[in-house]
Amino acid sequence: MHPTLIFDFDSTLVSLESLDELANIALDGNPDREDIVKELVRITDLGMEGKIGFAESLESRLKMFSANRGHVEKLTGLLRDSLSASVLRNTEFLKNNADRIYVISGGFSDYIQPVVAEICLLPENVLANKFVFDGEGRINGHDKSLLLAQDNGKAKQVAAMKLEGPVYIIGDGYTDFQIKAQGEADRFVAFTENIERPNVIAEADDVVKDFDELLELEFIRSL
């Protein structure tokens, strides 16, 4: 059976939370930027700790700022420069296993695809949300028909993929653990290089401080 590795994006493959950073970029020059971003980070954390549903968290965060294609391009550049250090050290592993690695994120394909291409992952193996742009290139919402836009979206997405063989999840957030909690994965590895969330760590089968430690785990070594 062919095992599948599923990586989270925000605070796992990259060190940042992308939507918080998009707001930071889009609100450049806005006198209320600091307060708005602070509130946004608070809502992101509530979501990652499992205290509010993802659909509600995403919707309320996108309403807090207006961004356009130029801002998304800037964000893509920032994320390219913010790939987790230990991930960059191990692109050989990612390249050699690219066909069995998926990136599943509540973030947006618009910037995740170009960023993961830098670390030899396949853009077609990125499953994430999509912005909806208006005629002037401004974001005026997101595609609500996607499974990842829903509560428990990651678990729903993995279920829809009907993967054969063991499924391993690597991430920092509660939504990553939920994939296993819903019975859609065999193992959940908490990745703490960028952030340690105690209530996520408490649920994990393994806890790794970086990608080097991940590669030492028995189930990875036996791939």
Interface residues with Mg ion (CB under 5 A) are 8, 10-11, 172-173
Q: How far is the CB of 11 from Mg ion (least distance, A)?
A: 4
Residues in the chain: 223
Min separation Cβ 110 and Mg ion, Å:
17
CA distance 38 to 24: 10
Residues 53, 177: Cα–Cα separation, whole Å = 14
H helices of the chain, in order, are 18-26, 33-48, 54-62, 69-80, 85-88, 91-96, 109-117, 153-161, 174-181, 198-201, 211-216, 218-221
Q: How far is the CB of 188 from Mg ion (least distance, A)?
A: 13
* Gap between the Cα atoms of 56 and 104, Å rounded: 19
Nearer residue to Mg ion within complex by CB, 50 or 173: 173
Write down the residue that tokens 């549903």 correspond to. 53
Give the shortest CB-29-to-Mg ion separation in angstroms.
28
Pick from 170, 165, 162: nearest CA to 213: 170
| 117: amino acid identity, one letter | A
Contact call for residues 183 and 199 (beta carbons, < 8 A): no
Nearest to 10 by CA among 2, 1, 21, 25: 21
Q: Which is nearer to Mg ion, 170 or 220 (CB)?
A: 170
Name which of 135 and 198 has its Cβ closer to Mg ion.
Answer: 198
Minimum distance of Mg ion from residue 6's CB (angstroms): 12
Least distance in angstroms from the C-beta of 145 to Mg ion: 23
In the complex with Mg ion, the residue whose CB is nearer, 8 or 184, is: 8
Q: With respect to Mg ion, which residue has the nearer C-beta, 62 or 169?
A: 169
- DSSP annotation of 31 reads T
Q: Cβ closer to Mg ion: 140 or 202? A: 202
